[in-house]
């Protein structure tokens, strides 16, 4: 009976040879979905309000962002951030012009301005921005919101 060796006892180790493959798959997923943040926030991160009548912004390249919120040192008043610095309402105009310069003539009517404003910001600030946008005919705006019930905003 020497032909039949005694069976080894104990569980065989789980084969981990495919572990790198699995990890790589995850890695590629995250590499592809990652969007590197283009601008650093100079103001406090705006706490966006919630709403349920939301639309998704279609083409990211056609969107320019305006941030509104409190400054980092906590001083009073709303601050507006365009690109990488805190600016004045009057600078919105030149900001939009510079955004337009990056696009072709045909795309200009499709450009959208996304306003990311803090829940506690004043409507006055937003109105000033809107007035500037109207003056230079940048009419498509999007008020950035989280998905949720609008009734949660006011308690």
Residues within the interface to another protein (CB under 8 A): 16, 19-20, 23-24, 26-27, 30-31, 33-37, 48-49, 51-57, 60, 63, 68, 112, 114, 117-124, 126-127, 130, 133-135, 137-147, 150-151, 153-154
CB of 128 to another protein, least distance (A): 9
How far is the C-alpha of 46 from the C-alpha of 44, rounded, in Å? 6
Contacts of 103 (CB under 8 A, 6+ apart): 62, 111
Instruction: CB nearer to another protein: give 82 or 117.
Output: 117
How far is the C-alpha of 24 from the C-alpha of 3, rounded, in Å? 44
Q: What angle separates helix 123-135 from helix 91-101, to the nearest 10 degrees?
A: 50
CB of 49 to another protein, least distance (A): 4
CB of 6 to another protein, least distance (A): 31
């Amino acid at each position: 009976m020497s032909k039949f060796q005694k069976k080894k006892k104990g569980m065989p180790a789980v084969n981990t040879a495919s572990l790198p493959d699995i990890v790589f798959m995850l890695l590629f997923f995250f590499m592809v979905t990652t969007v590197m943040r283009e601008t650093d926030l100079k103001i406090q991160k705006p706490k966006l309000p919630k709403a349920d009548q939301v639309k998704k912004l279609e083409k990211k390249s056609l969107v320019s962002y305006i941030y509104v919120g409190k400054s980092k040192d906590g001083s009073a008043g709303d601050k507006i951030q365009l690109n990488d610095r805190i600016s004045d309402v009057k600078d919105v105009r030149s900001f939009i012009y510079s955004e337009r310069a990056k696009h072709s003539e045909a795309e200009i009517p499709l450009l959208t301005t996304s306003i990311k404003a803090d829940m506690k910001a004043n409507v006055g600030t937003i109105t000033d921005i809107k007035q500037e946008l109207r003056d230079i005919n940048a009419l498509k705006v999007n008020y950035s919101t989280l998905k949720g019930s609008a009734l949660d905003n006011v308690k």
